[in-house]
Structure formats: C-alpha cells, structure tokens
Amino acid sequence: MGKLPELLAPAGDESGIIAAIHAGADAVYFGGKKFNARQRASNIEDQEMTHNIRLCHQNGVKAYLTLNILIKECEWPSLLDYLSLIATTDIDGIIVQDPGLIWFLRKWCPEISLQTSTQASIGGLYGVKFFEDMGFTRVVLPREMSMDDV
C-alpha cells in the first residue's frame, strides 16, 4: 500500500486549528501577525505561537508557518527578531516564496523543512526540480494550473 498524502489545512487562528484537528487534518498552516500574505486575516499572535504549535503536536498534527511574502530591505531587522522567536518553537516547517529569505533560512537553520508558497509561481518541472535540489519537502503549484499541466 502506498503512502497517503498529507491533508494540509489552512488554520488562521486557534479556532481554525481546533476545527482542522477535529476535521482530521494531518497538518495545518498559519501565519503570524507579520510576514505572511494574509495580513487582514485572523492570525496567530507572537505570544500564542508556542501554545498553538503544542496544541497541534498534542493532537498528532504538524504545524507549518507561512512567511510567504517578499521581504523588503527595511523589514529584515524585524524579521530577524521574529525568526528568533520562531527558533524557540517546535514548528514543523516554513512556507516561503522570497529567494533572499530562502537563502537566509538555508544558512541560518538548514535543518528546517521548507515548502514553497503558491505565491512562488512554480509553473513547471524545472521550477520543481530547482526547489527539490535545494532540499524543499514540498512545492505548492499555482492554483491556476490545470491537471494536465500538473
């Protein structure tokens, strides 16, 4: 019997995490209050990050953090502070799109599991191979791709 795919659900906040757990998700993804593409959504406060990751793990669910925006030069000091917070958690992986952030994460924390965000716009085999060669565990293809293209 083959390995079943991982059911990854968007969570947003603690109530979304709990709903995903009860619905049978294998993993959830969520963003913090900064550095994710859904700034207007309900996101996880910095002080709630460890609690919510622990909640996932206590229920056998993986937790992935979205850092899926392009980082501006002026944002790096704040991002480094945020990454210091993330380093104190037991996050299962980070979802990214910014090449500079990818480079930095590979140098700073090479053991962390990285996945591309749909915002990375990987539209073909060569893009997938590029990220595979960089050690990514998942490449998320754009939702606009047809099944034939996939």
Q: Is the dihedral of CA 131, 69, 122, 86 positive or negative?
A: positive
Q: Is the dihedral of CA 63, 66, 67, 68 positive or negative?
A: positive
* Segment 76-135, tens digit of pLDDT: 999 999 999 999 999 999 999 999 999 999 998 888 899 998 888 888 899 999 989 888
- The DSSP letter of residue 120 is G
Cα 53 to chain centroid, rounded: 13
Cα 127 to chain centroid, rounded: 18
pLDDT-derived band at 42 (thresholds 50, 70, 90) equals: confident
The letter for the amino acid at 40 is: R
Mean residue pLDDT of the chain comes to 89
